[in-house]
Amino acid sequence: MSILKIGLFGFGCVGTGLYQVLNQTNQLNARIHKIVAKNPHKTRSIQDVEILFDPDAILNDPEINVVVELINSSEEAYQLVKEALKRKKNVVTANKKLIAEHFAELIDLAKENRVSLLYEAAVAGSIPIIRNLEEYYNNDTLSRIEGIVNGTTNYILTQANNGISYEDALQDAQEKGFAEADPTLDVDGFDAKFKLVLLLKHAFGLTIKPERLLNIGIRNLKLKDVQFANEKGWRIKLFAKAIKRDNGLIAFVAPQLITKDHSSFHVDDEFNAVLVQAAFADKQLFYGKGAGSFPTASAVLSDISALQYNYQYEYRKSASNILELEDDFSLKVYIGSENASSLYDIDFEEIDDIFIGKNYSYRIGNVKFQTIKNIDWNKRSDMSLLLLPEELIEQKSLKSGYNELNINQN
């Protein structure tokens, strides 16, 4: 491709970051031709650039061959990206919700119009995971992906691990600009789920609607749950997880207890990490900044740079995919509550440990995923669920009745 003439939608945190990053990247044959934002009355941190407010200024400009979409509404982004692709413009976006919700349609549209649709920045900010899954792991069979892909929840959990309550940690994250005023998408695991949809596509070739994946967040974690983790020397992390089993794929978002020797044990604050397990390469951890103006802009820059050689995702794994989402398995879980009677709402297949206290109780044991899936955990403020470090129960190890039952009471 000759010179890349960019039409940039959005001039907020990532948009201004990209503007500055591009200004410091002389070797790239790309320049921002036009910028379109939303609010004409806003005072801008960068003032020596012309900002337009009519999307057609970009969409109708035949000279613009790359649209970079960095706005904060996935519905409006959907319209802009669709139009841009129809007008045969390459698109780079950082919007995971947009891609996760309209994956098949947008891929088809890009293909039909023979243009590229790239979105490295949409998963784990600066971490180059999408292109690595697509290219580097093209022939190595992947068995597991485990990602801390949401910086807001990781920041809150890091604070919680230090004894700060969920409410105080959330407020701190909001004051520092890591969390939105309405934190639902982050703390209830939706953001991580959108990213998991993208990971599933590039790691395993599975195209799946986000509604089909379970997301359990961290909203209902109590200090007692964190104390339980601390007493064991464990930490709590929110994972977007995919595990391959025969022709099935297990995939969901949930908080998990991890031991000191887990590679993500020291992934703290707003950092992200994606653990990839492959047949030949074994385990590899991708670690870096999952958000922020420059880190996210660096991933957008990398996509723009790839357009210089007409790079497109080929989705080769989708062509041969035979994997289906599986829900016939059991997980080893800790379920805690301030109200012991709530714990009896959950049907355990096998119980390893019970603690019943005056203000706090828990049960640990095996629960069928179908049982877990049928509960709206984000709305159950009376209970918290954590996966145990060895979360997956293989069917052969299942016995009926209570096993190694310990009942503690105080």
Ligand X SMILES: NC(=O)c1ccc[n+]([C@@H]2O[C@H](COP(=O)([O-])OP(=O)(O)OC[C@H]3O[C@@H](n4cnc5c(N)ncnc54)[C@H](OP(=O)(O)O)[C@@H]3O)[C@@H](O)[C@H]2O)c1
User: What contacts 305, CB < 8 A, 6 or more positions away?
Assistant: 28, 30
Rounded to whole angstroms, how far apart are CA atoms 309 and 90?
12
Does residue 170 contact residue 183 with C-beta atoms inside 8 Å?
Answer: yes
Instruction: Mark the segment that binds ligand X (CB under 6 A) among 64-72, 166-174, 257-265, 324-332.
Output: 64-72
The count of residues interacting with ligand X (CB under 6 A) is 25
How many CB atoms sit inside 10 A of residue 32's CB?
Answer: 21
Closest to 238 (Cα-Cα) out of 367, 124, 102 = 124
Residue 11 found at the interface with ligand X (CB under 6 A): yes
In sequence order, the 6+-apart residues with CB closer than 8 A to the CB of 147 are 123, 124, 129, 192, 195, 196, 199, 239, 240, 241, 272, 273, 274, 275
Q: Mask of contacts with ligand X, 319-358, x by CB under 6 A?
A: ----------------------------------------
Element (H, E) at 35: strand 30-36
Site string for ligand X, 109-128 (x = CB under 6 A): ------------x---x---
Q: Closest approach of Cβ 300 to ligand X, in Å?
A: 8
Among 15, 189, 288, 365, binds ligand X (CB under 6 A): 15
Q: Which two tokens stand for residue 168?
A: 């105080």
Comparing CB distances to ligand X, the nearer of 11 and 313 is 11
> Judged by CB under 6 A, does residue 161 bind ligand X?
no
The DSSP bridge partners found for residue 254 are 239
Q: Would residue 195 show up in a list of annotated catalytic residues for this protein?
A: yes
Sole binder of ligand X in the list 5, 72, 87, 403 (CB under 6 A) = 72
Q: Determine which one of 97, 195, 222, 332 is catalytic.
A: 195
Choose between 34 and 317: whose C-beta lies nearer to ligand X: 34
Report the distance separating Cα 102 and Cα 79, nearest Å: 11
How are beta strands 90-93 and 142-148 bridged, if at all? unpaired
Site for ligand X in 26-55 (CB under 6 A): 36-39, 42, 55
Structure-block tokens of residue 216:
């359990």
- By beta carbon distance, the residue nearest ligand X is 12
The yes or no reply on residue 73 touching ligand X (CB under 6 A) is yes
Q: Is 306 in the site for ligand X (CB under 6 A)?
A: no
307 near ligand X (CB under 6 A) = no
Give me the residues that bind ligand X (CB under 6 A), please.
9-15, 36-39, 42, 55, 70-73, 76, 94-95, 121, 125, 291-292, 296
The catalytic site residues sit at 195
